[in-house]
Amino acid sequence: MVKYTTRKPPSNSMRMAPTVGQLIPILLDGIPETQAIYLFGSHARGQSHPDSDLDLAILAKTKLPATLLWETAQRLASHAGVDVDLVNLGEASTVMQMQIITADQRLYCKDERACGDFEDLVFSSYARLNEERAEILRDIAERGRV
């Protein structure tokens, strides 16, 4: 069994951290059915610090085993020198999907139509969710508590 580490290289190491773009081939090698890759979180907002992890989300054509995501995240982390959180967009909540696609950091798209269709679906689902929970949110706002 291959074991990956998420430890950062020592600060005196001459190893240069790869850019996010240089990690894309590693991710695609680990999960070839990837249709899109998104960057989100502190790196997408330009607010990362030395201890920030790298938040990536993927859209895949097929259902992915959790172990495959974990192993790929560990492989990415070993190359990046920082922890990597890898989210499967197909299994994320509507709210999380919306936060990720509106971070406006799509790094890779295999098929523009498929990416656009998925993003349109997320916007529609999020709008429907907001309509469905509007009364609940209004009630919470009026009472001042959940």
pLDDT in tens, 78-89: 998 889 999 999
Q: What is the 3-state secondary structure (H, E, C) of 94-115?
A: HHHHHHHHCCCCEEEECCHHHH
Tell me whether residue 43 is in a domain: yes
Tell me whether residue 24 is in a domain: yes
User: How many structural domains are present in the chain?
Assistant: 1
Tell me whether residue 65 is in a domain: yes
Q: Supply the angle between the helices 112-143 and 94-101 in degrees, to the nearest 10.
A: 120
- Confidence class for position 141, pLDDT limits 50, 70, 90: confident
Tell me whether residue 10 is in a domain: no
Structural domain that includes position 80: 20-143
CATH code of residue 121:
3.30.460.10
Instruction: Output the average pLDDT for the chain.
Output: 84
Hunting for tokens 């197909």 — which residue is that? 90
Tell me whether residue 5 is in a domain: no
Tell me whether residue 7 is in a domain: no
